[in-house]
Structure 1
Amino acid sequence: MSTIRVRAQESGGVVTVRSLMSHPMETGARKDSAGNLIPAHYIETVEAEVGGNTVMTALWGAGISRNPFFQFQFAGSKGDTLKLSWKDNKGESDSTEVEIG
C-alpha cells in the first residue's frame, strides 16, 4: 500500500493535484524520551509525471511538517495518468499513479 494519497481533477484545461504523504519528516534536532537525538528522516524530492514528462519537481528539506499535504496545478487533460513519487534522505521512495478526472 502506498504512503501517498492523491487526487487529480481537471477543469478548464488546468489539473489541480492534491496529495497527502505519510512520512515522519524528522529534522534530526528532536530528542526522544531518553534524551537521544532522533536521526533526520525527511523527503528530499517530490516529482510528478504525465505521459513520461515531468510536470513538477519539488526539492524539500527538514522544515516540512510530518505527513505533508501538497497541492499544485499544471496544464493537462482528463484521462491522462499522473504518477506522483517521492524520495527521502535515507534512500527510501514511494510512488503512486492516478487517472486525472
Structure 2
Amino acid sequence: MASTIRARATLKGDTVTVKALITHVMETGLRKDEKTGKKIPAHFIQEVSCTHNGTETLLAQWGPAVSKNPYLSYQFTGGKSGDDVSISWVDNKGQKDSLTTQIK
C-alpha cells in the first residue's frame, strides 16, 4: 500500500519547518449516505506523532472536527540537514501509517 502521508522538512537558520499532507476520509459519523439514508460511521485520525531522530517533537490529539485530507505544519529547533523526521498517525478504527523523511 502506498503511504497516505506526503511530507517535507526544511531547515532555515536553526528552525526546521515540517509540512505534511495526510490522505484520510475523516468522517464525523454525523453525515448520512445520500442513497441509503443511513449514517456513515465515524472514521477519523485520533493521534498524530512526529519525531526528530527518535525524540518526540509533536503529539497531537485529533477528532472528527478535522477536515478531510488534513494538512499539518509545525516548526522546531535543533535539527540539521540530513536528520530524520518521522510522522505517524492512528485512527479510531486502528488503521495507521508512518513516513520518515530527511531534513533538507
TM-score normalised to the size of structure 2? 0.95
One-letter identity of the residue aligned with 2:55: N
Of 72, 75, 83, which residue of structure 2 is paired with 1:73?
Answer: 75
C-alpha RMSD of the superposition:
0.6
- Give ranges in structure 1 of 5+ residues lacking alignment: none
Alignment partner of 1:46: what SS? strand
Is residue 59 from structure 1 mapped to residue 68 from structure 2 by the alignment?
no
What percent of counterpart residues are identical?
A: 47
4+ residue segments displaced more than 2 Å: none
Structure-1 residue corresponding to 2:25:
24
Is residue 96 from structure 1 mapped to residue 99 from structure 2 by the alignment?
yes
TM-score normalised to the size of structure 1? 0.97
One-letter identity of the residue aligned with 1:37: K
Give the number of equivalent residue pairs.
101
Q: Distance in 2 between matches of 1:51 and 1:66?
A: 29
- Give ranges in structure 2 of 5+ residues lacking alignment: none
One-letter identity of the residue aligned with 1:64: V
